[in-house]
Structures are given as C-alpha cells and as structure tokens.
Structure 1
Amino acid sequence: MRTPPSCPPAPPGRGAVLAGLGSYVPPRVLTNAELCGHRPIGDEWIRARIGAGSRRIADAEATVDLAVRAGRHALTAAGSAAADAVVLATLSPDRLCPAGAPEVAARLGLGQVPAFDLASGCSGFLYGLAVATSMIAAGTFDTVLLIASDVFSSFLDPDDWLMRAIFGDGAGAVVLRAGSAGEPGAIGPFDLGSDGAQADLLEIPGGGARARKRLAQAPDEEFSPYFRMDGPAVRKQAVVGMCDSVTRAVGRAGWSLGELDVLVAHQANQRILDGLAAELGLAPAQVLSHIETYGNAAAASVPVLLAQAAAAETLVPGQRVALTAYGAGLAWGSATLVWPEVRAVADDG
C-alpha cells in the first residue's frame, strides 16, 4: 500500500478543543441467542470470531433521530445551546437527498447554521473531526457540533445473520470550540488516507447513480440494496493500516508509541483490536473496547466509545490519547489529543 503524503503538524496558534461529548444507543438489545435462533453456530462462535455478545438495534428510530439525541447530549455536556455549524458523518443516511445535518440542526434549535453530511465509511468520524478542526483553526467558525450516527441495521440483509452479528446502531457527538492548539483537548495532528482501488471490498451496490444508470439499460440486472463485505481481505489490512496510521499521527504529535496512554479504535472486531495492541506494543487494557455489548456501530463506534469512556471516567485528564478507524473507501484516519477536563453524557437508551 502506498504511503500517503506527509501532513505536517499544525503550527502553534488557534486550534479546535474538545468541549463536550454525548452518545445515544437505542434501547433494543439483540443478543447472539436471539440472532442465531436454532442455528448450530451460535453465541460461542460469534464471541470467538467477532467479540460481540449483543448489539443495539433501532426499531422506530432513524439516523437523524439518533443524531439529534447524541447532539443534544454533547451540547448539554459542553454547557451550550448553540453551535456555529453542524457536521453529520454517516454511512446510513435517512435519504439520498437532502442531507440529514440541516434537519438535525433545525431539531436542535440551532437556527439556520451551515450543516452538511460527510460520507467516509467507518472512518467518517475521524474525517469529520479533521474537517471541523480545520474550519475552527481557519477562523471560519468558533464552535462546531460533529455527530456520527448510523442505523446500519437497516442496510443489512435480514437473512445475512453474519453481518447482523457484526453491526449495531448508535450515535456519538462532540462539541469543538476555538482555543489554543497547544492546550489539553486540542485535536490533532491527524493522519488520513484512502485506497479507492479497493472500493469494492465494502459496498452497498444498489441505490446510487451507477446502479440506476445500469438498470435503465438492463432492467433485469440486479443490484443489492444491502451491505456486503469481503471480511477476510479487510481484516488483513485493517490491523496494518491502523497501526501505520496511528504511528504516523503519534509521531507528528512528537510522541513515541511508548508514551501513548490510550487508543480508541473503530470497534470492527475484537481480533482486530487485539492485533492493534500487539503490533503497537500496548497492553490490552490500553485499547478500549465495548464491542462485546454494542458490536460495530459503523461511523458512530469511535465517538460512542469516547463518550461512554469519558462518562465512566475511564479517560483521565492528562492522558495521551490516539483515535483511529479503518473502513469502506477504503479510508482510514487517526488523530491525537491530550485528554482534557471535559463532561460527557452517555445515554444507554
């Protein structure tokens, strides 16, 4: 895989600082036993290969609904009722058009602020974090509400029990404020990259312009509206890809891997998380995980875990923290921060 071009750390000055976190997961718990029914492959198999014992599934709620709940919690945690802009990262938009972020902003009572969606697979929160940080560092906005929300269960084939074993639903949000690039809670440096030559490893082939054009020419051709993934191929690359990305981000922060206290990684698979710990020389406890209870919440997995860890005081002020994700695109990203004094509201449904 080609090494992405170097992104030097931002110069000292204005930065984006973490000011509040929020998360929301729907109340319905889908256990392995319920998922598998009378199949010979059940709870033990799923736990051994994925690490999940259950996941949360949205029934009546959609992606914007979850986003509003998480966004409101983040604003409350930040002690604010306003934000200058809203960014929504999602793999599962409620509609192809329009974007969901303006509706989120309206329902949160934020007025006619700029609001837009961002699609970058399971790395969407990291990409959104980079975009929001850049908007604040440039002086365009003083506060940005970034939300990652996915009701990915609605894009899974009801008959594909393996995909349903992996994924769950949820939303996580952060409020970023203008501050000093050197203070605790300042986001960055970042490492971002992509490899579109492998776009077909994770995809939803139906519903977009390509499928619609093809169907107009060949009405009998079928394009599945459900997510599909070459799991083994992705798994092999995910550990190496995230390790390399974290190493670059940590180096740009001026840290060594030995100085890293906590890694918050995309909750794709417990085997991947264990591989990250081994490759980076971290103790298993340094790589946070909630996949056993919540599964893989797609783009929302990192911010949901962040908010839950902050609310539980698992994250302690002064810790050196790295964030990383890898997913459809292929796209990956990592970021660093020194954990600040910050509030979080984690809503467990």
Structure 2
Amino acid sequence: MTLRAQVAGVGHYLPDRVVPNSEFEQTLATSDEWIRSRSGIERRHFAAEGQTTSDMATRAARAALDDAGLAVADIDAIIVATSTADLTFPSAATMVQAELGMTHGFAFDVQAVCAGFVYALTNANALILSGQATRVLVIGAETFSRIMDWTDRSTCVLFGDGAGALVLEAATGTGTNADRGILATDLNSDGRHRDILYVDGGVSTQSTGYLRMEGKEVFRHAVEKLAATAQTALAKAGLESSDIDWVVPHQANIRIIQGTAKKLGLPMDRVVVTVQDHGNTSAASIPLALSVGKDRGQIKQGDLVVTEAIGGGLAWGAVVLRW
C-alpha cells in the first residue's frame, strides 16, 4: 500500500463588493472592452475597509471544513499561501488558527506570489507523506487591492481579492496513477527575472510599495513555463496530457490560459476558467477555481486534475492530482 494525500474538501470566500470594469472608466483612460479584450476579466471582488487576508482565509477554511465534514479538531496543520499577510509577523496562518479556535498542531505561511498555492500544496503533500501530519488545511488568500497603484491602468484593473481552501488528508492507495490524491508535483524558480513582476516596497525599505509588472515579458515566460511544468509533473506521474480531465490554472489572464491549454493540446472545455468573475487573485486563484469548479459540477471524484501557476520570483510549478 502507498500513502497518498487526498482532497477531503474544498471551499472559498469572496468579499461582498463586486467591482465591474466600468467602475475604472471613471478614473482611468480605460474601458470595459479594453480590459476584457486584453485579460478576459469582467469583474472582481475587493475586500471591505478593515477586512483582512486572515479574515477571508478563515471564512474559506470553514467552508472547506464543512465540505469535508470535518471539525477543527481533525486538522493537524494550516498552511496559508499569501503575499499580502495582515502583518509582517506573525503569520496569517497562525491568525487563522486562532480564529478557528485551534490550539494544537502548527501553522505557517508560504510566499511564492501567484504560485503560492502550488508551493503550499506541495509542502502539505510532503508533510503528509513524511508522517508529520494526517490532515492539512491548505489556504490561498490575498488582498491585492491594498498594493495597487490606482493610476496604473496596466495593473490595477487585473487584480482582485478572495480566498480558497482545501483539506488534504492521508489515505492509502495502490501506488499507481489510478489512486486518488496527489500523484506528482513540480516546483521551479528563477530569481534572475524578479524585475518583471514585483512590489517596489517592503519591510527593509520601510514602505508598502505598489505592484509593478512588465506584462509582455510576464506573458512570454508564462505560457512556456506553465506548459512545461505541467508536462513535467504529468511525466513524473506516468501520465500524458490526453489523460487530463481538468486543468485548473492560475487565473491571471485568459490569453495565458488559452495559450497554455493549446501547448498541452487540450480544448478550452477541459479548462476551469473563473478569471472573468474574480480577476487575478494571486495565490487564491487556484483554490478558488477548484471550489467553483466543484460547485459547478465540473470537477468530480476520480477526475484527473492538473493545477499550474507562475508568479513573481519568477516562481512556478504544477500539481497533478486525482480528485
């Protein structure tokens, strides 16, 4: 028998405030058509004043626990993927732990920007396979609206806030790629490209800063690297693109999603797409899309799912799992 980390439940949370593209027309030289044609985004959610990343993460966590039919007492660890934690420290994960009333186990954050959830999921898988934990709550949560330059139409229209969560639990499998659970992972980074997507502030500079991006350069790297990491992870699992039931990509830009699907040889009707409703929610985008995909009736037990993401760093990676 082989130990596997299986998905037990999934959930998400979106702030109440919905911001359509038309709202940006009042302050920027932009239009709904311009934003849609370049990104596929139609609307996004923004956190309310005073609402924090850990608050949204906690709400998504509760939804995932409910979906799994589990209590907080059943969880051994919490990992939060975020680049927009409430405070420099402590971690957002420990704040979620406290809000859930969890006084056992351990909690920590992972920061790999838009690739954060893939990194967190890979770490959670390793914790389960090593015997450090039996059930791990893996969360992606962001309030990117707090790091936007509202005068930069090339970036501020692209991002949104939200959170998604997933419960991974230990289970036994046969050791084949027919098993439910995580079958393979692939992580990568290359710091030489840090200047094409970054925030121009931080603790050591005593400033919050704003997100800065060279869109054409990010696009150029994204399609190639996302397809390659997905194919590498599939090969590790002894699978091929034709075996995929659903690709659940980082929801950054519809053109990147379409380009990656094309490189994988997959039609768009096998891709879960939520970017039109959420915008780019960074580390929250994959768990959000997984939860929405399940709610829509797209993702079903036994389906082979591939998630892939790329973010600042550059950092990128993929996870192959059977739902």
Same fold (TM over 0.5): yes
Look up the SS of the partner of 2:138 in the other structure: strand
- Report the counterpart of residue 217 of structure 1 in structure 2: none
- Report the counterpart of residue 80 of structure 1 in structure 2: 70
Query: Is the CA contact (8 Å cut-off) linking 1:106 and 1:112 kept in structure 2?
Result: no
The whole-number CA distance in structure 2 between the counterparts of 1:179 and 1:329 is 34
42, 51, 54: which is aligned to 1:64?
54
- Report the counterpart of residue 306 of structure 2 in structure 1: 322
* Count of paired positions: 317
TM-score, normalised relative to structure 1:
0.88
Kindly state the Cα deviation for residue 39 of structure 1 after the two structures are TM-superposed: 5.0
- Report the counterpart of residue 152 of structure 2 in structure 1: 160
The whole-number CA distance in structure 2 between the counterparts of 1:131 and 1:152 is 23
Corresponding letter in the other structure for 2:220: K
Asked if 1:201 is matched to 2:196, the reply is yes
- Report the counterpart of residue 344 of structure 1 in structure 2: none
Kindly state the Cα deviation for residue 59 of structure 1 after the two structures are TM-superposed: 1.4
Q: Which has the larger radius of gyration?
A: 1
128, 143, 152: which is aligned to 1:151?
143
- Superposed, 1:295-310 pairs within 5 Å as 295-310=279-294
- Report the counterpart of residue 30 of structure 1 in structure 2: 19
Which 10-residue stretch deviates more, 103-112 or 133-142?
Answer: 103-112
- Report the counterpart of residue 220 of structure 1 in structure 2: none
- Stretches of structure 1 that go unaligned for 5 or more consecutive residues are 1-11, 213-222, 340-349
Kindly state the Cα deviation for residue 329 of structure 1 after the two structures are TM-superposed: 1.0
- Report the counterpart of residue 347 of structure 1 in structure 2: none
Query: Is the CA contact (8 Å cut-off) linking 1:18 and 1:176 kept in structure 2?
Result: yes
Asked if 1:286 is matched to 2:270, the reply is yes
Which 10-residue stretch deviates more, 176-185 or 239-248?
Answer: 176-185
The whole-number CA distance in structure 2 between the counterparts of 1:45 and 1:137 is 47
TM-score, normalised relative to structure 2:
0.94
Query: Is the CA contact (8 Å cut-off) linking 1:149 and 1:299 kept in structure 2?
Result: yes
- Report the counterpart of residue 50 of structure 1 in structure 2: 39
Asked if 1:234 is matched to 2:218, the reply is yes
Asked if 1:187 is matched to 2:182, the reply is yes
Query: Is the CA contact (8 Å cut-off) linking 2:35 and 2:157 kept in structure 1?
Result: yes
Corresponding letter in the other structure for 2:268: P
- Report the counterpart of residue 16 of structure 1 in structure 2: 5
Asked if 1:311 is matched to 2:303, the reply is no
Regions of 4+ moved over 6 Å: none
Q: Percent identity?
A: 38
Kindly state the Cα deviation for residue 171 of structure 1 after the two structures are TM-superposed: 0.3
Deviations 1:233-253 (A, max 9, x none): 011010000000000111111
- Report the counterpart of residue 254 of structure 2 in structure 1: 270
The whole-number CA distance in structure 1 between the counterparts of 2:246 and 2:140 is 21
Query: Is the CA contact (8 Å cut-off) linking 2:38 and 2:255 kept in structure 1?
Result: yes
Corresponding letter in the other structure for 2:99: R
Look up the SS of the partner of 1:122 in the other structure: helix
Query: Is the CA contact (8 Å cut-off) linking 1:180 and 1:186 kept in structure 2?
Result: no
Look up the SS of the partner of 1:233 in the other structure: helix
Deviations 1:185-226 (A, max 9, x none): 3113001100011112111121232x25xxxxxxxxxx6711
The whole-number CA distance in structure 1 between the counterparts of 2:110 and 2:319 is 18
Query: Is the CA contact (8 Å cut-off) linking 2:115 and 2:283 kept in structure 1?
Result: yes
Query: Is the CA contact (8 Å cut-off) linking 1:189 and 1:336 kept in structure 2?
Result: yes
Look up the SS of the partner of 2:118 in the other structure: helix
Query: Is the CA contact (8 Å cut-off) linking 1:321 and 1:336 kept in structure 2?
Result: yes
- Report the counterpart of residue 120 of structure 2 in structure 1: 128
Look up the SS of the partner of 1:190 in the other structure: strand
The whole-number CA distance in structure 2 between the counterparts of 1:252 and 1:34 is 45
Kindly state the Cα deviation for residue 34 of structure 1 after the two structures are TM-superposed: 0.8
